[in-house]
């Protein structure tokens, strides 16, 4: 049977990289979003709102996916609202494909807030690292848990296989994304170079000095395909990170060197990007005009709030990959390469100056 993927959230950092990977492997790919935007001509766009069941049913009529990949969410003011809205999005989508005869697998992408807690209860329970999949849920409302439960209920009803994927901070190509550290740091480094401001690590002493890891969006894409086609991965939750560990005090100077600048000495405390980049819109617009860049709106590129949250953690965050390795997934990606490959693509697409 031909493999036919429906990707919910195709315009995001996960969905876009997954679509590119699946197309390269010969899959038929449908990309769902409210306003689907993709740089991949082979992807069939599906415009629908996951909170509008009627429009969703109509948009998905006749597609009959073999695999559904859910890589989207909407941030709300409270976690209770996050649970309500994001749970409904998953439920509506799975109801809309309930009659798909060939549906064999549903994959859900969540993240390490499964272990760290939601935004409003973040790290209130002291995390024990490295994070392992068998760790119990935390005693807080968490929309990741709500989304999982919707997938489990639909799988029980329909009999398809499922997988849950828990990446750390995702590094990869996407524009207009709410959680995009790689592009945010590229914009920050460019502004520092162009304005001769110091390139200061914005995070906590614990992040500067401690061990951590990240997830390349390309590795996550391969992990999603693997889980969707491997019997060993059926009905399992998996962590997914690059496979190496690093310290920011090692990586930061290397990122600076790629932009032809020096890393500023670490001041010993947080210097949040939200403050550093406040009011930087006109500065970026001027840089874009000077270099003929494709995107003059800094808000389409930088997500300072989320980068500050990741780099501002006051605890070690390290993720265990043993479960995936034992089940047969052995891909590995050096983290420095994740950033440098992304920066090279951003230059090639005129998102940042060459």
Q: Is 144 a catalytic residue?
A: yes
> What tokens were used for 229?
């086609």
Using the 8-state DSSP alphabet, how is residue 50 labeled? T
Calculate helix-pair angle for 13-24, 217-229, nearest 10 degrees.
60
Angle at 132 between CA 126 and CA 134, to 5 degrees: 100
Known catalytic residue at 113 = yes
CA angle centred on 176, ends 173 and 178, rounded to 5°: 95
Cα separation, 28 vs 302, whole angstroms: 32
E-strand spans in the chain? 4-8, 28-33, 44-47, 67-70, 105-109, 161-167, 170-171, 211-212, 215-216, 236-240, 246-247
199 touches 271 (CB < 8 A): no
Contact yes or no for 133/207 (Cβ under 8 A): no
Q: What is the CA radius of gyration of the chain?
A: 20
Q: Which one of the listed residues 30, 144, 173, 188 is annotated catalytic?
A: 144
The span from the CA of 349 to the CA of 352, in Å, is 8
Q: Tokens representing 129?
A: 């690292």
Where on the phi/psi map is residue 166: left (φ > 0), alpha (ψ -120 to 50), or beta?
Answer: beta
Closest CA to 220 of 10, 13, 25: 13
Instruction: Tell me the C-alpha to C-alpha distance, in Å, between residue 284 and each of 30, 197, 199, 307.
Output: 34, 14, 16, 18
| Residue 308 token pair | 């500050």
Q: Which one of 25, 30, 35, 113 is the catalytic residue?
A: 113
Give the largest CA-CA distance in the chain: 59
Catalytic residue annotation: 113, 144
């Amino acid at each position: 049977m031909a493999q036919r993927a429906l990707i919910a959230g195709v315009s995001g950092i996960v969905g876009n990289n997954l679509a590119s990977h699946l197309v390269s492997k010969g899959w038929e790919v449908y990309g769902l979003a409210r306003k689907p935007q993709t740089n991949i001509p082979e992807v069939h766009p599906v415009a629908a709102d996951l909170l509008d069941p009627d429009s969703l049913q109509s948009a998905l009529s006749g597609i009959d996916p073999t695999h559904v990949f859910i890589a989207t969410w909407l941030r709300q003011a409270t976690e209770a609202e996050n649970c309500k809205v994001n749970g409904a999005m998953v439920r509506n989508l799975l109801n809309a494909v309930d009659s798909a005869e060939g549906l064999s697998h549903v994959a859900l992408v969540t993240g390490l807030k499964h272990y760290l807690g939601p935004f409003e209860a973040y790290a209130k329970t002291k995390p024990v690292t490295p994070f392992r999949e068998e760790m119990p849920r935390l005693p807080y409302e968490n929309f990741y848990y709500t989304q999982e439960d919707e997938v489990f209920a639909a799988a029980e009803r329909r009999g398809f296989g499922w997988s849950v994927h828990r990446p750390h901070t995702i590094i990869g190509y996407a524009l207009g994304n709410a959680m995009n550290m790689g592009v945010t740091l590229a914009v920050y480094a460019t502004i520092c170079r162009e304005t001769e401001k110091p390139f200061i690590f914005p995070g906590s002493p614990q992040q500067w000095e401690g061990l951590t890891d990240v997830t390349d969006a390309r590795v996550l894409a391969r992990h999603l395909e693997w889980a969707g086609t491997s019997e060993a991965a059926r009905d399992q939750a998996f962590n997914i990170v690059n496979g190496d560990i690093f310290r920011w005090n090692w990586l930061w100077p290397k990122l600076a060197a790629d932009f032809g600048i020096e890393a500023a000495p670490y001041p010993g405390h947080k210097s949040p990007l939200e403050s550093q980049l406040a009011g930087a819109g006109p500065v970026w617009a001027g840089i874009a005009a000077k270099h003929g860049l494709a995107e003059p709106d800094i808000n389409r590129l930088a997500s300072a709030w989320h980068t500050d949250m990741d780099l501002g953690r006051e605890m070690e965050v390290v993720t265990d990959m043993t479960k995936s390795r034992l089940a047969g997934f052995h891909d590995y990606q050096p983290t420095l390469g994740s950033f440098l490959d992304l920066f090279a693509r951003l230059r090639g697409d005129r998102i940042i100056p060459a």
